[in-house]
């Protein structure tokens, strides 16, 4: 097991990871911006290092400073928490190149699942259902309109590099298409630095069901059941519950087998969440994979009795 872990985050999730480390006998290193010198996560850590000025770009997103903090404190692993750099393939790669263990998936898996169109193609080859889509829509208006008609309305415009509802627009007829496509592209470029978009058939009022998985470094993948997260506002989850009231044993088996297949086909390791849309007829479709610990992981822990963060530490340590 690791001797010392740097947590590349702040706030509640940093404290959560520190608790798991402490219960496993691992020392912890906190990072903080100049504004957070007296923050609770700094007080909870065994060691703390200031990594920059208050703006996140100069501190919690400053990869060279964080790597240097890990080196100077003798950390042998880095846990990214959630948010900030948790799904940043370049950060995971920098940690590994510095001779430390990134407590999470490989940089290749992060990059693959972070690209929504590449992720769709990858899981579809593994036999996992995906919503019909136009993955490379033409940019010219006439051709774009023709592609949308082939797909069928209503449809949803999504950012290829996106998540969290950014760069998304629902389009119900052709008069809305071009303005929505332009607006989504601008938003995606501003939010992710990548303006690529794709069109997807829009499912009316689907349920949103996600499967928690754990995977070791040798290809073994297990699931910890599902979480229901259909109550949302602006594509942001508000309420989660487990098990889902909409999932019976037969459907649960199908969905969890699909989630395990997603993890395997992407060479996944450590903890992750596979998200599905579930329609009124009981058909489910791959939505995306979150290549990190989720905010809502505690409800799965309460139901299963498994400490997911401690599992992350053990999986990363082999």
Phi, psi of 282 (to 5 degrees): 85, 10
For residues 288 and 231, give the distance between their C-alpha atoms in angstroms, rounded to a whole number.
18
Evaluate whether 296 touches 229 at the Cβ level (below 8 Å).
yes
Active-site residue (options: 16, 120, 169, 292): 292
Q: What is the DSSP letter of 155?
A: E
For residues 255 and 88, give the distance between their C-alpha atoms in angstroms, rounded to a whole number.
27
Task: Take residue 60 and report the two structure tokens written for it.
Answer: 């919690």
CA dihedral sign, ordered 244, 246, 250, 251:
negative
Strands 77-79 and 4-7 come out as parallel
Give which of 210, 204, 147, 145 is closest to 177, Cα–Cα. Answer: 145
CA dihedral sign, ordered 120, 121, 123, 127:
positive
Element (H, E) at 262: helix 249-265
Strands 27-33 and 47-52 come out as parallel
Evaluate whether 82 touches 12 at the Cβ level (below 8 Å).
no
Active site residue 292: yes
Q: How many CB atoms lie within 10 A of CB 279?
A: 14
Radius of gyration of the chain (CA): 20
For residues 30 and 19, give the distance between their C-alpha atoms in angstroms, rounded to a whole number.
12
User: What are the catalytic residues?
Assistant: 292
């Amino acid at each position: 097991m690791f001797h010392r872990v740097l947590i590349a985050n702040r706030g509640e999730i940093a404290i959560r990871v520190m608790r798991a480390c402490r219960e496993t006998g691992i020392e912890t290193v906190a990072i903080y911006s100049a504004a957070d010198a007296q923050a609770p996560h700094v007080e909870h850590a065994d060691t703390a290092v200031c990594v920059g000025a208050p703006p996140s770009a100069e501190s919690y997103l400053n990869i060279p400073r964080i790597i240097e903090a890990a080196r100077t404190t003798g950390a042998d692993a880095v846990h990214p928490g959630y948010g900030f750099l948790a799904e940043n393939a370049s950060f995971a790669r920098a940690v590994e190149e510095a001779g430390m263990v990134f407590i999470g998936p490989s940089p290749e898996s992060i990059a693959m699942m972070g690209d929504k169109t590449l992720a769709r193609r990858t899981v579809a080859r593994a036999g996992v259902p995906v919503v019909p889509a136009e993955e490379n829509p033409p940019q010219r208006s006439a051709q774009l309109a023709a592609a949308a008609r082939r797909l069928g309305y209503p449809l949803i415009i999504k950012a290829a590099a996106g998540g969290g509802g950014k760069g998304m627009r629902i389009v119900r007829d052709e008069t809305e298409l071009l303005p929505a496509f332009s607006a989504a592209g601008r938003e995606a470029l501003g939010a992710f630095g990548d303006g690529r978009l794709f069109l997807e058939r829009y499912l009316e009022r689907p349920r949103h069901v996600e499967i928690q998985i754990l995977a070791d470094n040798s290809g073994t993948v297990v699931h910890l059941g599902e979480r229901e997260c259909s109550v949302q506002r602006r594509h942001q989850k508000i309420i989660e519950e487990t098990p889902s009231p909409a999932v019976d044993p037969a459907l649960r088996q199908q969905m969890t087998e699909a989630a395990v297949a997603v993890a395997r086909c992407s060479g996944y390791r450590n903890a992750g969440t596979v998200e599905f849309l579930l329609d009124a007829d009981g058909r489910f479709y791959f939505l995306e994979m979150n290549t990190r610990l989720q905010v809502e992981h505690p409800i799965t822990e309460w139901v299963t009795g498994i400490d997911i963060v401690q599992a992350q530490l053990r999986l990363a340590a082999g």
